Amino acid sequence: MAALRSFLVIICFVVVAATSMMPTSAQLSSGFYNKVCPQALPAIRKVVKRAISHEPRIGASLLRLHFHDCFVNGCDGSVLLDDTANFTGEKTAFPNLNSIRGFNVIDDIKKAVDKACYKSVVSCADILAVAARDSVSILGGPDYEVQLGRRDARTASVNDANRNLPPPVFSFSQLLSNFQAHGLNLKDLIVLSAAHTIGLARCTTFRARIYNDTNIDPKFAASAKYNCPTTGGDNNTRPLDSTTRRFDNVYFKALLQQKGLLHSDQELYKNNGTDSDKLVLKYSRNSESFAKDFANSMIKMGNIKPLTGNNGEVRLNCRKIN
């Protein structure tokens, strides 16, 4: 009995010691706001729901904002910062300029969540992660538990955005290297690219593909050219897949038919037996495994280099540092 008790005491000691030695500052958790503001997550979802019913595309735009946040020095809300005298922010970086959207919705969410919490406790970086999850879920995708506790950056860098965000002209190996540089693997690349199951792209991002790529369905290319001439019409948009308001696996089915809209999309499937091809084929046939793997990869992407503990801050206004 005494031996058992001292054994338990030792176990407790070891557990406590191990926990206190852990770099708790790098740890996110799903219950981060449970005590300080249990109303936070429902308040965010309410605004996302309203915004999507007003404009379905906004769900896609919110999902993309989280991706563009996480890929530039981690998920730290840097993408939301306006330019200041001290730095040029990420909004004018090539992949973002005239392209990323949804900032007004983020402002609306921040106001609503601060009101629901009676104080500013929820970071803009966490708002991006939750709004992305809610958008996916509302549009018919998986509803997963978001990890929380990110804090907001006090700076942003246009050069880092240009260096880190993958452009649509990238080849398969460039896309894979880019994802690997962010701690993500081939499977993450395939499932996360399927975020293009929702939303639109501008002519300027797919013109080279529809005029010059050879691994493209001719009828599909012809129909895309109609609204995307060789010169002019840069801002004309086209759905990234044929069910653009529905988070489903039609994106993968389109790749099998050489109907990927972006060059980078079709790079994932070339029908020559690669591991990438095999994953595309699998997800085109199995929407459940796509949903499950998408949720897991989103959580993984959301864990890229967060600021935690006393690092960074909780911004009062998502567009400016405090």
Ligand X SMILES: *[C@@H]1O[C@H](CO)[C@@H](O)[C@H](O)[C@H]1NC(C)=O
* Binding of ligand X by 180 (CB under 6 A): no
Least distance (Å) between residue 98 CB and ligand X = 4
Contacts of 110 (CB under 8 A, 6+ apart): 122, 124, 127, 317, 318
Tell whether residue 70 is a contact of ligand HEM (CB under 6 A). Answer: no
Is 54 catalytic? The answer is: no
Query: Of residues 25, 98, 104, 185, which one binds ligand X by CB under 6 A?
Result: 98
- Which of 33, 48, 51, 64 is close enough to bind ligand HEM by CB under 6 A? 64
Indicate whether 193 belongs to the interface with ligand HEM (CB under 6 A): yes
Is 76 labelled a binding residue? yes
For 302, residues 6+ apart whose C-beta sits below 8 A from its C-beta are 28, 66, 70, 75, 129, 146, 147
> What does the alpha-carbon distance between residue 280 and residue 269 come to, in Å, rounded to a whole number?
7
Residues 27-46 close enough to bind ligand X by CB under 6 A: none
Q: In angstroms, give the least distance from the CB of 134 to ligand X.
A: 25
Spot the catalytic one: 54, 66, 68, 182. Answer: 68
Q: How many residues bind ligand X (CB under 6 A)?
A: 15
Nearer to ligand X, 203 or 314 (CB): 203
Asked whether position 148 contacts ligand HEM by CB under 6 A, the answer is no
Of ligand HEM, ligand X, none, which one sits near residue 300, judging by CB under 5 to 8 A according to partner kind?
A: none
Q: How far apart are CA 40 and CA 231, in angstroms?
A: 47
DSSP letters spanning 245-293: TS-SSHHHHHHHTT--SSHHHHTT--SS--HHHHHHHHHHH-HHHHHHH
Q: How far apart are alpha carbons 76 and 164 in whole angstroms?
A: 15
Q: Is 275 annotated as a binding residue?
A: no
Round to whole Å and give the CA distance between 201 and 79: 19
Q: Other C-beta atoms within 10 Å of 142: how many?
A: 17
Q: How far is the CB of 85 from ligand X (least distance, A)?
A: 4
Which partner, ligand HEM, ligand X, none, binds residue 61 by CB below 5 to 8 Å per kind? Answer: ligand HEM
> Could you tell me how far CA 184 lies from the centroid of its own chain?
13
Q: Binding residue for ligand HEM (CB under 6 A) from 60, 79, 93, 321?
A: 60
